[in-house]
Amino acid sequence: MYLARKNQIGKDKIKMKTTSTYAEHANSVYDLDMNCLSQGEDLFKTIQGMERVIVDNNAEWKKRSLAEPHRAFILGQAIDNEKSDLEGEFFNEEIREGRNNVYLLGLDFRNEPGKILIDRLDSQFRAFFKSPLPRLFEEVTTWNDPDKRLKLRDRIAKLTSFFTEKQMQERINEQLPRCVGNFVLSCCTAEFTYALLLVNIYHKDSSEREKFIQNHKNLFGDTSMIRDALFFDAQILSDDEKHVHKMASYCQICCLKSAVASA
């Protein structure tokens, strides 16, 4: 997530404090088998004990997370890939003191095997950085790798050729119960949901078809939310009632709108 940007930019761009501040910040590191590699609180386990939602980039989560402290709000790749100003998203005046029920999901694949990172957006997290997080236009290297995205696109195109709609839905249904805490299987299942979406809309939705053909940088934003929702067994907070909701329906995932219900 935000770490993907930070690590691409280099140490001169963002320098992280090494004082006791970070020791007070809640973060967890896992391998792909979900073995916890860090000390302290197991944030995945903490999140599993709460109601939880994956936040879409179009959803207003700051007011709702304040109104619903019992619910975990998880900011994942959809936020990282599509929000231009992470500094403002995470650290503006509205949440200056942090938000203990908001979590950042990060993926670190600089070295194999990869690692899964979860940070709480607590008051110590901002002090962890000496410099502001850069905006997208300030980055010197792309963090949303077009080559990896192209490989995923081609893999999904093959799924649409090798499987019928019925077979894809059957595969999704078979894998669903085993996705919680299984990142690799959640990725695989999310790929099937996007492949099934493509089969259903390819000749009806020219904009999505063009994004797929052109390997658009935001091509898999919705797919990443499905993956994260499967991984955490979470709902999705999204005001996009088009593709996100349709893909979620394949996986029996509930979608919520970001407006807070009135008392």
| Residue-averaged pLDDT of the chain | 81
Query: In the block, which residue shows the tokens 């709480």?
Result: 120
Q: Using the predicted structure, report yes or no on whether residue 193 has a pLDDT greater than 80.
A: yes
Task: Give the model confidence (pLDDT) of 95-142 as tens digits.
Answer: 767 889 999 998 888 777 889 999 998 887 766 665 556 554 434 334
Q: Please write down the HEC assignment for all residues of the chain.
A: CHHHHHHHHCCCCCCECCCHHHHHCCEEEEECCCCECCCCCCHHHHHHCCEEEEECCCCCCHHHHHHCCCEEEEECHHHHHHCCCHHHHHHCHHHCCCCCCEEEEEEECCCCCCEEEEEECCHHHHHCECCCCCCHHHCCCCCCCHHHHHHHHHHHHHHHHHCCHHHHHHHHHHHHHHCCCCHHHHHHHHHHHHHHHHHHHCCCCHHHHHHHHHCCCCCCHHHHHHHHHHHHCCEEECCCCCHHHHHHHHCCCCEECCCCCCC
Sorted by sequence, the CB contacts under 8 Å of residue 79 that are 6+ apart come out as 1, 55, 57, 86, 89
Task: Give the model confidence (pLDDT) of 209-250 as tens digits.
Answer: 777 778 777 767 789 999 999 999 999 999 887 888 999 999
Percent of the chain with pLDDT over 70: 75
- Give dist(CA 38, CA 1) in Å, integer: 18
Task: Give the model confidence (pLDDT) of 149-178 as tens digits.
Answer: 888 888 988 999 999 999 999 999 999 999
- 195 neighbors 160 (Cβ within 8 angstroms): yes
